[in-house]
Amino acid sequence: MNRPTELLAGLVLRLAPIAALLLVWYGIVHGFGIPDRLMPDPVTVGLRIYAGLFTEGDLWSHLWLTFKSTFAGFVLGSVLAIALGSVLAMNRKLELLVYPLVVLIQAVPKVAIAPLVLLWLGFDERSTVTLVGLICFFPAFVGAFVGVRSTPAVLMDLFHTLRASAFKTYVHCNLPHAAGSIVAGLQVGWGFALVGCVVMEFIMGMGGAGFLIDNSANALDTATAVAAMILLGLLGYIGGGVLAEAKRRIVFWEGGRRNG
């Protein structure tokens, strides 16, 4: 099978489930006579997305606010998580002191502390970014911790024999070995980050896709609410795809190992 045929087959396999879902959705709405105020059909939602993005443009501002807050919190939480996870993985004594605290904090539902975050930081973007960072912290932390800790002992012994510093050992040995695990944690964290952002937008009611969904549902504008949910799903899918492509390009040796 030549390359164009493979690409076409892959595209069909990706689009077939989506097409089937749209057909089922359309059939259920019209087959059971569900009114638009409860569930519009995919054509109505598609037209609303087109209008909101390309003609009226009212969806862009909300979607951009959600993306901006999600991305800022995701970067903040992930950088801190990778740094802390790496440090704990390389220092057993520090792990015994700090790791139980990280697990304890993770056990607390982040949605439950959202009102406290608002009380401490105020009703602005800082609260959203902080909660997003807290929610996406643990997946990246576990990815870094497990990846660095699982570095083969023979490699560590080699760098120790070469008298490499702890920093050089981390950069040239631990980090490349942990890269795949870290990116996997980031992929999970991106989905969590969107959830945290939407929750804060529900609570604050000051804009964003979460606010738009809540406000539209209360106004029985279900088409806008469903359109916003679909755009959120696309945002999550695109973010995950970007991270997957980054993993393929940066952690290229893992792909080679699987293909070999």
CATH code of the domain in which 78 resides: 1.10.3720.10
Q: Looking at the domain assignment, is residue 30 inside a domain? A: no
Q: What does the pLDDT read at residue 258?
A: 46
Domain limits at 192?
60-251
Q: Looking at the domain assignment, is residue 54 inside a domain? A: no
Q: Which segments of the chain have a pLDDT < 70?
A: 1-3, 254-260
The residues near 59 (Cβ < 8 Å, ≥ 6 apart) are 49, 52, 53, 212, 227, 228, 231
Q: What does the pLDDT read at residue 112?
A: 82
Domain count, the chain: 1
Q: Looking at the domain assignment, is residue 5 inside a domain? A: no
Per-residue b/e over 212-243, b at no fewer than 16 CB within 10 Å? bbbbbeeeebbbbbbbbbebbeebbeebeeeb
Q: Looking at the domain assignment, is residue 154 inside a domain? A: yes
CA distance 20 to 22: 5
In this predicted model, what pLDDT tens digit does every residue of 60-80 receive, in sequence order?
989 999 999 999 999 999 999
Q: Looking at the domain assignment, is residue 12 inside a domain? A: no
- 64 alpha-carbon distance from chain centroid: 16
> How far from 16 is each of 29, 44, 135, 169, 236, CA to CA, in Å?
20, 21, 33, 47, 20
CA distance 166 to 228: 47
Q: Looking at the domain assignment, is residue 47 inside a domain? A: no
Q: What does the pLDDT read at residue 1?
A: 55
Residue 179 · residue 250 · CB < 8 Å? yes
Q: Looking at the domain assignment, is residue 43 inside a domain? A: no
- Retrieve residue 46's tokens: 């598609």
The residues near 240 (Cβ < 8 Å, ≥ 6 apart) are 187, 190, 191
111 class by beta-carbon count within 10 Å (0-12 exposed, 13-18 middle, 19+ buried): middle
Alpha helices in 91-208 (DSSP H): 92-107, 110-121, 125-149, 153-161, 166-169, 175-204
Q: What does the pLDDT read at residue 203?
A: 87
Q: Looking at the domain assignment, is residue 4 inside a domain? A: no
